[in-house]
Chains A and B, each alone.
Chain A
Amino acid sequence: MGPHLFEFALLFGVLGLAAAVSIWLRMPVVPLYIIAGLGIGSFVEKNEVAEFLGQLGVVFLLFSMGLEFSVGNLRREPKRFILPGTLDFAINFPVGVAAGFAFGSSWLDAVFLGGIVYMTSSAVVSQCISEFGRATRPETETLLAIMVFEDLVIAAYLVMISTLTGAAGEQRAVFVTLGLIALFLGALWLLAQRFQRPLARVISPGSEEGFTLALFAFVLLIASAALGVGLSGEVGAFLAGLVIGTTEHKERAASTLLPYRTLFAALFFISFGMSLDPGTFNEVIVPGVVLILAGLATKSIGGYLAGRAAGHPPMPSWVLGFSLIPKGEFSIVIAALAAKATGEQQIVALTGLYVLSLALLGPVAMREADRLSRWMRSLGGSKLAAPKGSAS
């Protein structure tokens, strides 16, 4: 432990510095964490402990995302998110898959790329909304509705790719994995429903420590159980979050985790940065740049069309499109699953370049969205036909 102490001091020092710089730059902190990781990764030996902390980070990040996932009052207004969400998916996911085929990847890699290109980073976008004072804008409601739709898709997608790959690396029959997932979810649900009362009695309302520690133990237990049955720990944590989110413990678990979430997200993004090797970017520079340009274009246009479909005027619709650019946690998780499944490191380098670029460009695009959308309009953006049936 001794020699690691200094490395950790350095790690947290750098994280703190990144957070300070982000305030100074008025930028979300996520891309800075990744860059910081990239920086210290090149001269600090990556050790098991840091890697483990990063894993812990992703497990809790995905758990809290599952936990906070809520369709909320969108259930009452389904057309506010189903049409825009579907447009966003239908325009972006196939582009990633097509790019995969164009680069000569296997169909499995192409499906992975589809997900990597499609998933917007909730962590970056919600921070940008607060940072740039966008919360009161009408198009922000549609933006967040699209993010909820993406979360729904990612839940299904993660289950699907676990099925395709068996996640543990070995080839399994598809139905065995599907059955496992069904069993796992069923067991989790039963646990959450049947043991709510006994659990609540054990964790007396007065004891914050008891609740916090029990929650941590629960999340790690479920993640390791998921690993044990051949699913990935990340998927297990996400599913656990979804299930706990349906119980009465949701609010308390979310508020207990909130301060730790910052820490876990920081660890996750910095360890992603540390895992990147800028040397490998050269090998993927061509597909990388193509993917970045495709991501910029399809996310903006898809978002514009989604905004028009939801009834927003052209300018706010462009703003919405530019707000969908940031990429982050989900793309990274998918890339990690892909690398585990196919044994190829190329997809990690490609995703690294893609996520790093769009995590940086996304917030800039979002901050300059008003200027950019005026520019798009004078460029003849109005020629882009609004989808049929859109009201403005």
Chain B
Amino acid sequence: MVTREADLPGVGTKYSFPLTSGEQLVAVRHRVGHWEIARVDDEGQTTPLVTLAPKEAAELGRILSQRQEAEADARKQMLFEEFSMEWVTLDADSPLVGQTLRDAGVRARTGASVIAVLRSDSSIPSPPPDTSFLAGDTLVIIGGRNQVDRFIREYSSIAIDT
């Protein structure tokens, strides 16, 4: 389906696409924000269908696109189940405290990756290998379910569930 878009100078923007009935569905967004929707037959006769205030148009759009969104969400959910992302806060007695990312060999030992370090006053996204950890740091880790579980067992007793 091809939607045609045309400027209506001084009025707004017009969108139209053919319906299976052979008519055209025409929606015009006025410059001031409201929408006018109509169908047009091949004789050029126009039947106005509805005029919508901006909020009403947004609601209609939400309803119409909801189903597709739900399907897309389900697909994302499925993919998400194959890996896991956790926020892990380091205790003072965690073996990681005082070590750098490289020395600890986090990746080699657990398979999980540290993608960010959150401190009270700053954050380090994609920490470089020489980042050293402090007690109280919250690490954002990502990996397969087993890898993330292993990380938590090795380095921390507290996992903040997302």
Contact = CB atoms under 8 A, between A and B. Distances in A.
Contact of B7 (A74, A139, A313, A315): A74
A72 B40 contact: no
B6 interface: yes
A133 B36 contact: yes
Interface stretch (A141-149, A267-275, A295-303, A331-339): A141-149
Given A135-B28, A136-B48, A122 B10 contact: yes
A137 interface: yes
B14 A141 contact: yes
A233 interface: no
Contacts of A315: 43-45
Determine the main DSSP class of A at the interface with B.
helix
A137 B43 CA distance: 11
B44 A144 contact: no
A367 interface: no
B92 interface: no
B37 A68 contact: no
Contacts of A140: 8, 11
Interface residues of B, number: 23
A138 B6 CA distance: 11
A148 B26 contact: no
Contact of B40 (A122, A133, A136, A144): A136
Given A133-B51, A137-B46, A315-B44, A68 B10 contact: yes
Nearest to B24: A138
Given A133-B36, A316-B44, A144 B8 contact: yes
Contacts, number: 66
A126 B10 CA distance: 6
A130 interface: yes
Contacts of A144: 8-11
Contact of B10 (A74, A141, A147): A147
B119 interface: no
Contacts of A312: 44
Interface in B32-79: 36-38, 40, 43-46, 48, 51
Interface of B: 5-12, 14, 26-28, 30, 36-38, 40, 43-46, 48, 51
- State the 8 A-B residue pairs at the shortest beta-carbon distance, nearest first: A72-B7, A136-B38, A135-B28, A316-B44, A126-B10, A136-B26, A137-B46, A313-B44
Given A69-B9, A137-B44, A141-B6, 15 more contacts: A72-B7, A73-B6, A73-B7, A126-B10, A129-B8, A129-B11, A130-B30, A133-B48, A136-B40, A136-B48, A137-B38, A138-B44, A140-B8, A147-B10, A315-B43
